[in-house]
Amino acid sequence: MAQNPILDLNSPPISSLVYLKTNIGGWFFDAFLRSTHTSRLKITDHPVQTGAALTDHSYLEPQELTMEIGMSDAATSLIPGQFTGGWSRSVQAFKVMKELQAIRVPIQVHSRLGLYQNMLIEEISAPDDFTTLNGLRCTVTLREIIVGQVRTVKISSKPAVTDRANRGKGEPVNENKSILVETGLKKLLGW
């Protein structure tokens, strides 16, 4: 594919529609036949010796979005130039989805029910039979990735070693003394 699957969402033809029309990473498909939005809260529980399990924490799991998309070889693209350069628009749309999945770069997905950031394509399912000869009916499952925040914290403003630190009593190095000690050890050990 000659075109990069990661689109600039601020480019002129896309920027006016990216927050208004349902799209996957700035790619506008002919139809979004069904969307399933899944948001789960994980409630932790810990069994105790007697009674019910105790709950002491909960957290949101990554959001999931499953979209069934449709493409027709007879229609024209909403954004000029999208899904061109291949054997057909439907085949090119399938290739775009596979490339977005393969490069594993988080994308933005906009739907009627919300805007999803940091989404990766987890699964693509596209049955192909006589009913999809001139089109595509594809189910795309996306999952949010949680990105960690790194922060540097200054622990102390005082340096670990100062000029006033007690470094102990220093002894001058005497090479003659080192040779005498080494010779004395040799005589003592019988070397």
**Are residues 86 and 92 in contact, defined by beta-carbon separation less than 8 angstroms?**
yes
Higher pLDDT, 165 or 148: 148
* pLDDT value at residue 1: 46
Residue 185: is its pLDDT beyond 70? no
- Name the DSSP letter for residue 131: G
3-state secondary structure of 134: coil
Nearest to 141 by CA among 63, 30, 89: 63
Q: Both tokens of residue 180?
A: 């005498």
* pLDDT value at residue 136: 94
**Cα→Cα distances 51→32, 47, 58, 160, Å:** 48, 8, 20, 52
Render 57-75 in DSSP notation, one character per residue.
-EEEPPPEEEEEEEEESSS
| Angle CA 78–125–85, to nearest 5 | 40
Q: What is the pLDDT of residues 69-125, one digit of tens each?
A: 999 999 888 888 888 888 899 999 999 999 999 999 999 999 999 999 999 999 999
Q: What is the pLDDT of residues 4-62, one digit of tens each?
A: 788 888 888 888 888 888 999 999 999 999 999 999 999 998 888 887 888 889 999 99
